[in-house]
Structure 1
Amino acid sequence: MLFDLNRYSINDFKHETRQLLTLALPMMLGQIATIAIGVVDTIMAGAAGKADLSAVALGSSVFVTVFITFMGIMAALNPMIAQLFGANKITEVGKTGQQGIWFGIIFGIIGMILMLALIVPLKNYLHMDDYIEAQFGQYLFYVALAMPFALVYQALSAYASSLNRPKPIMWINWAALIINIPLNWLFIFKFNMGGSGAGLATLLIFCFNSLALFCHIWKTPYFQPFGLTQTFRLPELTAQKNIWKLGWAIGLSYFLEVSLFSFIVWLIADLGEDFVAAQQIVGNLNSMVYMIPQAIGSAATVRVGQSIGRQQFARARYISGVSLLSGWILALCTFTLLLTLNQALVGLYTQDASVLHIGASLLIFVGFFQLFDFTQCIASYALRGYKITRVPMVIHAIAFWLLGLFPGYALAYWANMGIYGFWAALILSLASAASALVWYLNKRSLWAMKNRAL
Structure 2
Amino acid sequence: MYETTTLKEKLKLFSIILIPILITQISMYLMNFFDTVMSGQAGAQDLAGVAIGSSLWVPIFTGINGILLAITPIVAQLIGAKSDEEIPKKVQQGIYLAIALALFVTAVGAILLNPILQAMDLETEVRHTAKFYLIWLVTGIVPLFIFNTLRCFIDALGQTRISMLIILTSLPLNILFNYIFIFGKFGVPAFGGVGSGIATAITYWLVCGIALAVIYKIRPFSGYRVFSNWVKPSLKAWLEQLKIGIPIGFAIFFETSIFSAVTLLMSVYSTYTIAAHQAAINFASLLYMIPLSVGMALTIAIGFEIGGKRFADARTYGYIGISGGLFIAAFAGLVLYVFNDTVAALYNSNPEVIELTKHFIYYAIFFQLADAFGAPIQGALRGYKDVNITLIMALVSYWIIGLPTGWLLANYTALEPFGYWVGIIVGLSCGAIALLLRLLYIQKKYMRIDKAVKTH
* Match among 46, 55, 58 for residue 61 of structure 1: 55
Given that 1:95 and 1:227 are in contact with CA atoms closer than 8 Å, whether structure 2 keeps it comes out as no
Given that 2:281 and 2:364 are in contact with CA atoms closer than 8 Å, whether structure 1 keeps it comes out as no
Report the Cα distance in structure 2 between the residues aligned to 1:267 and 1:129, rounded to whole angstroms.
15
Task: Flag structure 2 segments of 5+ consecutive residues without an equivalent.
Answer: none
Per-residue CA deviations over 1:129-157 (Å, capped at 9, x if unaligned) read 22222222111111122221111111001
Q: Secondary structure, in 3 states, of the residue corresponding to 1:221?
A: coil
Per-residue CA deviations over 1:218-237 (Å, capped at 9, x if unaligned) read 10121123221232222112
Number of the residue aligned with 2:413:
415
Q: Secondary structure, in 3 states, of the residue corresponding to 2:6?
A: helix
Q: Within 5 Å, which residues of 2 pair with 1:220-235?
A: 220-235=218-233
Report the Cα distance in structure 2 between the residues aligned to 1:18 and 1:330, rounded to whole angstroms.
18
Q: Within 5 Å, which residues of 2 pair with 1:7-46?
A: 12-46=6-40
Number of the residue aligned with 2:80:
86
Report the Cα distance in structure 2 between the residues aligned to 1:315 and 1:447, rounded to whole angstroms.
14
Are positions 1:177 and 2:175 aligned together? Answer: no
Report the Cα distance in structure 1 between the residues aligned to 2:123 and 2:222, rounded to whole angstroms.
54
Given that 1:68 and 1:254 are in contact with CA atoms closer than 8 Å, whether structure 2 keeps it comes out as yes
Given that 2:215 and 2:221 are in contact with CA atoms closer than 8 Å, whether structure 1 keeps it comes out as yes
Given that 2:166 and 2:211 are in contact with CA atoms closer than 8 Å, whether structure 1 keeps it comes out as yes
Report the Cα distance in structure 1 between the residues aligned to 2:324 and 2:7, rounded to whole angstroms.
10
Given that 2:326 and 2:373 are in contact with CA atoms closer than 8 Å, whether structure 1 keeps it comes out as yes
Number of the residue aligned with 1:8:
none
Number of the residue aligned with 1:255:
253
Per-residue CA deviations over 1:336-372 (Å, capped at 9, x if unaligned) read 1211111111211122111111111211211121221
Per-residue CA deviations over 1:59-78 (Å, capped at 9, x if unaligned) read 11111111111011111111
Number of the residue aligned with 1:105:
99
Shift of 1:28: 0.8
Number of residue pairs the alignment of both structures matches = 444
Number of the residue aligned with 1:201:
199
Shift of 1:123: 2.5
Amino acid at match of 1:382: A
Are positions 1:301 and 2:299 aligned together? Answer: yes
Structure 1 range deviating more: 233-242 or 253-262:
233-242
Amino acid at match of 2:131: G
Per-residue CA deviations over 1:72-130 (Å, capped at 9, x if unaligned) read 11111111110001111111112111111111111111112222222211231133222
1:17 to 1:364, Cα distance in 2 relative to 1, 3 A: farther
Q: Secondary structure, in 3 states, of the residue corresponding to 1:348?
A: helix
Shift of 1:296: 0.6
Provide TM-score, normalisation by structure 2: 0.95
Q: Within 5 Å, which residues of 2 pair with 1:115-264?
A: 115-190=109-184, 191-264=189-262
Amino acid at match of 2:256: V
Provide TM-score, normalisation by structure 1: 0.95
Given that 2:216 and 2:225 are in contact with CA atoms closer than 8 Å, whether structure 1 keeps it comes out as no
Report the Cα distance in structure 1 between the residues aligned to 2:302 and 2:436, rounded to whole angstroms.
15
Given that 1:21 and 1:296 are in contact with CA atoms closer than 8 Å, whether structure 2 keeps it comes out as no
Structure 1 range deviating more: 413-422 or 209-218:
413-422
Report the Cα distance in structure 1 between the residues aligned to 2:122 and 2:374, rounded to whole angstroms.
36
Number of the residue aligned with 1:7:
none
Task: Flag structure 1 segments of 5+ consecutive residues without an equivalent.
Answer: 1-10
Report the Cα distance in structure 1 between the residues aligned to 2:171 and 2:331, rounded to whole angstroms.
26
